[in-house]
Amino acid sequence: MFHVSDNSKARPDDRLYKIQPLIDLLVHKYNSALIPEQNVWKEATPGQSVSSKVVIDLMEPYLDSGRVLFADNWYNSVDLAEKLLCRNTLVETLRANRKRNPTGITKKKISKGETVAKINNKGVTVLKWKDRREVLMISTKQTNKIISVDRSRKTVKQKPEVVVDYNTGKGYIDLTDQLQSYHSALRKSLKWYRKIIIDLICNISVLNALTCSLV
C-alpha cells in the first residue's frame, strides 16, 4: 500500500495532500537533473486550466533567457503570445475560434500549398498554410518565410518556416508519448491517487531518467 503523506497533518484546503510531498520531491529532482536548452515544449492536459497565467507560471523559471516555447493549440492565443513576446519567444498551433484572431486569415479559403499571414504591430504573426488540411500557426519568432524541405525520393517541398520549427520542437514530446505507449504501469484502482503515484514513479520518472541519459 502506498503512503506518501501523513494524513494527520493534511491541510483541509489541499486536495492533493495525499500526493503533494511526492510531487514536490520529484519536481525538485527533475529540475536539478536537467536544465532545458533553448527549446521548451508544453503539452496540453485535458481538463487542465488553459489560461495565460497558467502558462506564464509554469514557464517562469525559464523566461527571460532566450528560450523558445512550443505549445499545442490548447493554450494558444494572441494575448498569450504578446505577453511572452517581451520575455520569451513562442511558436505554436492556433485554434481558429480564439479571441483577437485576425478573421482575414482564419476565415480565408486557400488552396493546397498556399500561405496567408498577418503580423500585428507587436510582432505577433498569425499564419495559415494548407497541405492536406489547413494549419493555423501563431509565432513571435518566425514570420511568413517559406523554406525548402528535403523529402524522400529526392523531392523538395516548400513549407512555412514556422511549421518546420514547430514539427521539430514537438518531436520530443511525440517520442515520449510513443515510448510510454509501449508499456504502461498503470492498473485499475478505486483510489485516484494510487494511479497518479504509479504514473509519476513508473512512467514519468523512468522516461525522464532515460531522457537524461541520452542528453
**Residue 1: band (very low, low, confident or very high) from pLDDT cuts 50, 70, 90:** low
Q: What is the pLDDT of residue 47?
A: 43
Q: How confident is the model over 133-158, as pLDDT tens digits?
A: 998 988 888 888 888 888 766 677 88
Q: What is the pLDDT of residue 46?
A: 46
Q: What is the pLDDT of residue 215?
A: 59
Q: What is the pLDDT of residue 116?
A: 93
128 vs 148, higher pLDDT: 128
- Checking 108-117 for CB contacts under 8 A at 24+ apart, the result is 110/134, 113/158, 115/144, 115/146, 115/160, 117/143, 117/144, 117/160
Whether this prediction's pTM lies above 0.75 is answered by no
Q: What is the pLDDT of residue 129?
A: 93
Q: How confident is the model over 23-45, as pLDDT tens digits?
A: 888 888 877 766 665 555 455 54
Q: How confident is the model over 61-95, as pLDDT tens digits?
A: 888 888 888 877 777 788 888 888 888 777 777 77
Nearest to 208, CA basis, from 183, 182, 176: 176
Q: What is the DSSP string of 109-174?
A: ---TT-EEEEE-TTS-EEEEEESSSEEEEEESS--S-EEEEE-GGG-EEEEEHHHHHHHHHHHHHH
At residue 49, does pLDDT exceed 50? no
Q: What is the DSSP string of 84-107?
A: HHTT-EEEEE--TTSTT--HHHHT
Backbone angles phi, psi at 40, to 5 degrees: -130, 135
